Amino acid sequence: MPYIGNTSADRFVAAKAATQFSGDGSTVAFTLEHSVGSDEDILVSVDGVIQEPSVAYAVSSGTTLTFTTAPSSNSGNNIFVYYLFRTVGTVSHPSNNALTATSGTFTGNVIIPNAGNIGSTSDTDAMAISSGGVVNFTQTPTLLDKRLTNTPAFLAKMSADQDIPDASDTKVVFDTEVYDTDGKYDHSTNYRFTPEVAGTYFLYTQVHMLGQDNSQLVDTFIFIKKNGAKFYASRINPSNNYTNQHTISLSVTDVANTTDYYEVFVYIDDITATPDVDATTSRGDLSFFGAYKLAGV
């Protein structure tokens, strides 16, 4: 039947009850024929005198009998060792050896040395824990299917001004990517953001509107569409105090699934001419669209 521990050396042979040695007046260490666990596990006599355990002798390494004073060199086997108890098997793990197991259950804390590491075979320091308890990871941590980074994320702007049909909903062409961490923004065809990773996202946009030829803007909107439907909007309606140009911004959070997509549209009602969306000035970019995933949400 299965057993735990080391194979017993005396499993199929009779164990000796005693061992005899001959002293020479100088040798103090003798090798026992059976391993024992303590000084009291054997009865030792020298020249017929019973020796006191741990005083006259000691046992080390389980099989080494060491006398405090070398036994005499009287003729014959003058040292007698009788085995009271013997060690035939142990269940232990050396503290300086690696432990390998397929699984394990701990009922208390698992403690590693200061500045120690926890890892796998191919990445032994995947988690490095400093003496102050700070945990550093060699890979980007994940929580279930939600990454702890703010990605996917992107920011796009316009490469040129865009003429807008008067008083008509028109998609803004943000055709130049500043960055796109996961390639989820289409900057060449549909000009839309499709994150493909479920989660909560922060979306933001800004558009600068201009009435060309010194024309005046009567009513203006910027709005985000989700899956082709109007979603959130921002508006400037100057009533009778018409302006030639102004900037509208909009930001919102939204929960997206793996197929949702977002686009930016404008509506510009110009009093006399065709308006446009300005891309940039000498002081910086005026119109842009971006988004990023909120970590852990």
| Rounded average pLDDT per 10-residue block, the chain, 297 residues | 58 70 93 90 93 94 91 85 74 70 81 82 83 82 66 97 95 98 97 96 97 87 97 90 90 97 96 89 95 88
Q: Does residue 159 sit in the same domain as residue 284?
A: yes
The Cα angle at residue 40 between residues 34 and 44, in degrees rounded to 5 = 70
Give me the pLDDT at residue 102, please: 79
Domain membership of residue 276 (yes or no) is: yes
Give me the pLDDT at residue 142, please: 64
Q: Does residue 76 sit in the same domain as residue 179?
A: no
Q: Does residue 33 sit in the same domain as residue 161?
A: no
Give me the pLDDT at residue 39, please: 92
Domain membership of residue 274 (yes or no) is: yes
Three-state secondary structure readout of the chain: CCCCCCCCCCCCCCCCCEEEECCCCCCCEEECCCCCCCHHHEEEEECCEECCECCCEEEECCCEEEECCCCCCCCCCCEEEEECCCCCCCCCCCCCCCCCCCCCCCCCCCCCCCCCEECCCCCCCCEEECCCCCEEECCCCEECCEECCCCCEEEEECCCCEECCCCCCEECCCCEEEEECCCCEECCCCCEECCCCCEEEEEEEEEEEEEHHHCCEEEEEEEEEECCEEEEEEEECCCCCCECEEEEEEEEEEEECCCCCEEEEEEEEECCCCEEEECEECCEECCEEEEEECCCC
Domain membership of residue 90 (yes or no) is: no
Among 84, 76, 91, residue whose Cα is nearest residue 59: 84
Question: Measured between alpha carbons, how far is 148 from 91 in angstroms, rounded to an integer?
Answer: 44
Q: Which two tokens stand for residue 40?
A: 């009291």
Q: Which of 31, 50, 83 is the last residue of a domain?
A: 83
- Domain hosting residue 23, numbered range: 18-83
Domain membership of residue 267 (yes or no) is: yes
Give me the pLDDT at residue 239, please: 78
Q: Does residue 164 sit in the same domain as residue 276?
A: yes
Q: What is the CATH number of the domain that holds 192?
A: 2.60.120.40
Give me the pLDDT at residue 89, please: 57
pTM here is 0.56
Q: Which of 83, 105, 139 is the last residue of a domain?
A: 83
